[in-house]
Amino acid sequence: MSAVIAIDGSAGEGGGQVLRSSLALSILTGKELRIEKIRANRRRGGLLRQHLTGLRAAVAISGAEVEGDKLKSAEVTFRPGPVRPGEYSFAIGTAGSANLVLQTILPPLMLASGPSLLTLEGGTHNDKSPPFHYLRDAFLPQLARLGPKVEMQLDRWGFYPAGGGEISAEIVPSAEIGVLNLDERGALLGIDATAVVSALPPKIARRELRALGKTLDFAAEIVEVEDPRGPGNVLMVTVRHENVTEVFTGFGQKGVTAERVAGRVAAEVTDYLESEVPVGEHLADQLLIPMALAGKGSFVTGEPSLHTTTNMSVIQRFLDVEFTVERVSRRAWRISL
């Protein structure tokens, strides 16, 4: 075992992404991890249920020795073993994001010696985390171009605060990661909007789509989910170009009108279309580890967020790579290796 990698969990963005990336890279490199001040920049610091589930998932797929695996823990020591592909089930027990648990263990499993089948229970469509449709439609197609194939299925919707959702993921790994070059998005192929309501009146979805239509030209669909666990509403806009797909989401909240939800999503979509960059803010975060594992590549995005720059710093602690960020136009930056 090589020297311990010490990570300050409060550095930069200081959220759960620091923990997730550190765990994934620890398994991939075999390097022992010591992370302190976990999520210190958050109102409720330390390990919440979804972070603890991600940690225990990382332990399960690598046979790791771990210290600090308990709720609210701010310090974790993680000594990984070789990655072990197979069939796993992980349940958060709250509405915490099942997709973020997948994000923790996908990088090592996508380079494993055999396929894996995962069943993950928790939130599937949460604010402030990538929803199921985002991973399936925006990130995984880019990953497939680099080698690993991941098929995701939404078995049961799960909204905040009730949770109870379920996703499954079949991972067919690749022996290596191909080089990512995503500098142009290509021609616009189409824009689709889906308004989903669970245990709420369908008129909410109709109002969202009507408000969205004042700004965007799109193909629309309303999905009604029969979910007795609790209400939920998500508005999703999928923008498809030749080389990349982006997904933008807005979530209904008590006291927030359908028109306001639609307005926020429309503004994000419009900003992305006008920027002419292929990679949106959140996809930039997702692409960093695959690109770093290949050791070279580039993509063009908007001004890198603190989330993105923090993730780059974490990756550089584990891998012998150095990201370069270059401004190429008023609204475009190239991140490359």
Q: Which residues are catalytic?
A: 307
**Dihedral sign (CA 163, 169, 173, 176):** negative
Instruction: Convert the chain into a string of H (helix), E (strand) and C (coil).
Output: CCCCEEEECCCCCCCHHHHHHHHHHHHHHCCCEEEECCCCCCCCCCCCHHHHHHHHHHHHHHCCEEECCCCCCCCEEEECCCCCCCEEEEECCCCCEHHHHHHHHHHHHCCCCCCEEEEEEEECECCCCCCHHHHHHHHHHHHHHCCCEEEEEEEECCECCCECEEEEEEEECCCCCCCEEECCCCCEEEEEEEEEEECCCHHHHHHHHHHHCCCCCCEEEEEEECCCCCCEEEEEEEEEECCCEEEEEEECCCCCCHHHHHHHHHHHHHHHHHHCCCECHHHHHHHHHHHHHHCCEEEEECCCCHHHHHHHHHHHHHCCCCCEEEEEECCEEEEEC
* Nearest residue to 312 (alpha-carbon basis) of 300, 324, 302, 294: 324
